Amino acid sequence: MALNFTPKNRNSRILAVGAYRPSRIIPNSHIVDRIESSDEWIRERSGIESRRFAGPDESVISMAEAACSQALTRSGILMTQVDAVIVATITYPFQTPSAATELIALLGNPKAAAFDISAACAGFCYGVGMASDLIRSGSANYVLVVGVEKLSDFTDPDDRGTAFIFADGAGAVIIGPSEAAGIGPTIWGSDATNRDAILMTPSWIDLKNPESLGWPDISMQGQTVFRWAVYQMAPIALEALTAAGLTPAMLDAFIPHQANMRIIDAMAKSMKLPETVAIARDVRVSGNTSAASVPIAMDSLLTDRPDLHGKTALIIGFGAGLVYAAQAIELPAASSNK
Ligand code: UT7
């Protein structure tokens, strides 16, 4: 027998964004000696000039808490009104319980639904899609989605392919119900044939072996990921726009995963974005913060360009798996980013 209830079938939108950037600013000059590189090479190949590394007193949880608190304050929603918290991270150093359950206790609502997702640099956009659908269906009214990474814990400072790219930080959004459509359909998927392109090894099991080669660090086949991102991700971004009934000419901002300035520029070119579209280029000063990069870049863009509040943006995350997710969104309203 069919169940006897009416699905909510309502819209959702991002009410506010918050970010936390660790206080330690690390210029390229602090990295180059150990990897036989140069400031010029890093700027030219990645667009990165500096990044933030968390200190010993800045953890995945403390950074997530700061970003969530800012998003909550800006939204005017109380933590006690939040039904679910989704944490996107690959650097919380415990397999279980989840980072989300540690976070809700600190934020003051230990009864909220809480779980982590492992979708690397796409994790935040995966979370936005899930939160939006939870709200649209009526399973939740308000959902916090936080992308947070302390990649400096899992990056080998002697690895030329990763030491200059990865960085730390947190970004969060609060998502709630809305009259108008504020989050478009999620276009998402994977390319598991390239699963080896970004890996964290050895495994926890390997670590139990006393002869283990050591700590799990991230390694990356940079060129494989670069080519995949440049050629495969622009069509996905355009698909997300079309799914939301938009064209590039109707877009105000493009906030892609902040992996590499050359990838950002190549995507914008391939999508034929008009010059009027503001492009988030936060990678220059934040590096690649994986799951945190899109919300941190969103926060930076709204700080630099307050006129973009309430305007239309496209967000897309892509990374280890390889996995990706993209949505068209309405950026949070002006009153929120104070
Ligand atoms: O966030 C998850 C998704 N991640 C990404 O989207 C990252 C995608 N990949 C990239 O952004 C780029 O591949 C990197 C920025 C990581 C590397 O840039 P690249 O242009 O792909 O460099 P490459 O690995 O092709 O190396 C080019 C040259 C090589 O020298 P030769 O063989 O041309 O003489 C390397 O040995 O640069 C050399 N090289 C370096 N030189 C100075 C490689 N790493 C370095 C280094 N410093 N750190």
Q: How far is the CA of 162 from the centre of ligand 1 (A)?
A: 9
- Domains 11-178 and 187-336 in one fold: yes
277 C-beta closer than 6 A to ligand 1: no
Minimum CA distance residue for ligand 1 atom 4: 259
Please work out whether the CB of residue 261 comes within 6 Å of at least one atom of ligand 1: no
Compute the distance from residue 291 Cα to the ligand 1 centre, in Å. Answer: 21
What does 121-171 look like in DSSP terms, one character per residue? GGHHHHHHHHHHHHHHHTS-S-EEEEEEEEGGGGS-TT-TTTTTTB-EEEE
Ligand 1 centroid – CA 307 distance (Å)? 36
Question: Rounded mean pLDDT of 272-284?
Answer: 97
What number is the average pLDDT over the span 14-29?
97
pLDDT of res. 334: 85
Q: What is the pLDDT of residues 193-216, one digit of tens each?
A: 999 999 999 988 888 887 777 889
Average pLDDT over residues 289-318: 98
Ligand 1: atom nearest CA of 257 is 1
Share of the chain above pLDDT 90, in %: 92
Indicate whether 338 pLDDT > 70: no
CATH of 11-178, one of 3.40.50.300, 3.40.630.30, 4.10.520.10, 3.40.47.10: 3.40.47.10
| 115 in contact with ligand 1, CB cutoff 6 A | no
- Does residue 284's CB lie within 6 angstroms of at least one atom of ligand 1? no
DSSP string, 189-214: EE-GGGGGGEEEES-HHHHHSTT---
For residues 56 and 3, is the Cβ–Cβ distance under 8 A?
A: no
pLDDT range class, residue 6, cuts 50, 70, 90: confident
Distance (Å, whole) CA 276 – CA 216: 43
Q: What is the mean pLDDT of residues 71-75?
A: 97
- Residue 59 vs residues 34, 54, 265, 335: alpha-carbon distances, Å: 25, 7, 32, 30
Rounded mean pLDDT of 267-281? 96
Ligand 1 mean position, distance from CA 321 (Å): 19
Reported in sequence order, the residue ranges of the chain that DSSP labels E, i.e. its strands, are 11-20, 24-27, 50-53, 84-88, 113-117, 143-150, 168-178, 187-190, 198-201, 217-220, 253-256, 278-279, 312-319, 323-330
Each residue's pLDDT tens digit, 75-86: 999 999 999 999
Determine the residue of 226, 265, 316 to mutate for testing ligand 1's pocket, defined as the one with the most ligand atoms within 8 A of the Cβ atom: 226
For residue 78, the CA-to-ligand 1 centroid distance in Å is 44
Cis peptide before 322 (omega within 30 of 0): yes
pLDDT digits (tens, 9 = 90+) for 86-128: 999 999 999 999 999 999 999 999 999 999 999 999 999 999 9
Q: Which residues contact 243 (CB under 8 A, 6 or more apart)?
A: 184, 185, 187, 328
What does the pLDDT look like over 139-176, one tens digit per residue?
A: 999 999 999 999 999 999 999 999 999 999 999 999 99
Nearest-angstrom CA–CA distance, 318 and 259: 9
Residue where the block lists tokens 């390319």: 191
Q: What is the largest CA-CA distance in the chain?
A: 69
Q: Quick check: CB of 41 below 6 Å from ligand 1?
A: yes
Fold exhibited by the domain 187-336: Peroxisomal Thiolase; Chain A, domain 1 (3.40.47)
Residue nearest to atom 16 of ligand 1 (CA): 222
Question: Which residues are known catalytic residues?
Answer: 121, 257, 288
**Residue 155 Cβ contacting ligand 1 at under 6 Å:** no
d(CA 75, CA 64): 16
So what's the pLDDT on residue 207?
86
The whole-number pLDDT of residue 9 equals: 85
Q: What is the pLDDT of residue 336?
A: 56
Ligand 1 within 6 A of CB of 121: yes
Question: What value does the mean pLDDT of the chain take?
Answer: 96
Question: Among candidates 96, 119, 173, which has minimal Cα distance to 291?
Answer: 119
**Hey, what amino acid is at 16?**
A
From CA 326, how far away is CA 124, in angstroms rounded? 10
| Domain limits, the chain | 11-178, 187-336
Q: Is residue 122 packed enough to be buried (19+ CB in 10 Å), middle (13-18) or exposed (0-12)? A: buried
Q: What letter represents residue 71's amino acid?
A: A
278 alpha carbon – ligand 1 mean position (Å): 27
Tell me: pLDDT of 8 over 80: yes
